[in-house]
Amino acid sequence: MNDAPPKDAGPAIEVKNLECGYDGKVVLKNISFTIPRGEIFFIIGGSGCGKSTLLRHLVGLNAPTAGTVKFFGRSFTESDITTRRALLKTFGMLFQSGALWSSLSLRQNVALPLEEYTALSAREIQEIATFKLAQVGLGGFEDYYPAEISGGMKKRAGLARALALDPEIVFFDEPSAGLDPVTSRKLDELIRQIRDTFGTTIVVVSHELASIFDLADRVLMLDRTEQGVIAEGNPRELAKTSRDPRVTEFLRRADLLSESK
């Protein structure tokens, strides 16, 4: 659906010296990291450390006060409207609540980005929306409305919409929030399946240790006092080798490291 970046383009995401904030208040500063294609990358940390703030600045919902964000070697923060619109088609996002339109059916919700960003016919859009819902295990629920389904199903429907344009990157904001452990584990399995099947780059904001240890290739850990990054790497290695008590306390706060092996 989208114009896939060439194989020799840059990494999926490259962030340099990013500064994030609201109303003149700096929340995060000097944020730099790179995410190669096909990686499952978690942004972690305690409450109020700026995880969701960073995510909102990465996807353009808020403009950073300094620094740059690049997707596949092309600047997102410094691009013109045409380039930014093209880059928007390369990624999808699953919001914490699912962010479904309550007045629209699940199929109509998934159809929205197709209607906005493609010239496909109404019939083609309906067929793709139906297929995307089936992809996330919601075949047969196309005509249901958000109020008629469970929280886990809403997350899956939101994911189907995020996948509508066959994005190269999918962002998740606390995907397990409000879900029971079984439903959360099934969503984790679906996220891994998407990466393994399509080579999609996955970026997840989360504080759930079970998901972090089960899914993450690497993590970026933020700290509220530091207003920035205090650790980056594989979560299991960080839990074993980090000398920063803030890192070890977070990653060992429940005995999930051994349980998730």
Alpha carbon distance 187, 203 (integer Å)? 14
Mean local confidence (pLDDT), 49-71: 93
Q: In what order do the strands lie in the sheet with 74-75?
A: 25-35, 13-22, 66-71, 74-75
In a domain, 11, yes or no: no
In a domain, 191, yes or no: no
In a domain, 145, yes or no: yes
Alpha carbon distance 261, 257 (integer Å)? 7
Helix (H, G, I), strand (E, B) or coil at 154: helix
Handedness of CA 113, 115, 118, 124 (dihedral sign): positive
Range of the domain at 105: 100-153
Residue whose pair of structure tokens reads 């609540």 in the numeric block: 97
Beta-carbon contacts of residue 122 (< 8 Å; ≥ 6 apart): none
Segment 210-228, tens digit of pLDDT: 999 999 999 999 999 999 9
Segment 65-95, tens digit of pLDDT: 999 999 999 999 988 988 888 888 899 999 8
Segment 168-216, tens digit of pLDDT: 999 999 888 878 888 888 889 999 999 999 999 999 999 889 999 999 9
pTM here is 0.89
In a domain, 112, yes or no: yes
> Which has the closest alpha carbon to 162: 126, 194, 205, 197?
194
Segment 107-117, tens digit of pLDDT: 999 999 999 88
Compute φ and ψ for 88, nearest 5 degrees. Answer: -60, -30
How far, CA to CA in Å, does 232 sit from each of 1, 36, 219, 245, 250? 33, 14, 6, 14, 13
Tokens of 113: 């980005």
Give yes or no for residue 10 having a pLDDT over 50: yes
Alpha carbon distance 35, 12 (integer Å)? 6
Alpha carbon distance 200, 66 (integer Å)? 28
The one-letter amino acid at 95: F
Say how many domains are in the chain: 1
The gap between the terminal CA atoms of the chain, to the nearest Å, is 37
In a domain, 116, yes or no: yes
In a domain, 109, yes or no: yes
Contact 235, 216 (CB under 8 A): yes
Give yes or no for residue 255 having a pLDDT over 50: no
Give yes or no for residue 29 having a pLDDT over 90: yes
Tokens of 166: 């066959």
Angle, CA 75 vertex, CA 54 and CA 196 arms, to 5°: 65
In a domain, 134, yes or no: yes
Tokens of 37: 């294609």
Q: Could you give the angle at which helices 106-117 and 122-135 cross, rounded to 10 degrees?
A: 120
Give yes or no for residue 15 having a pLDDT over 90: yes
In a domain, 146, yes or no: yes
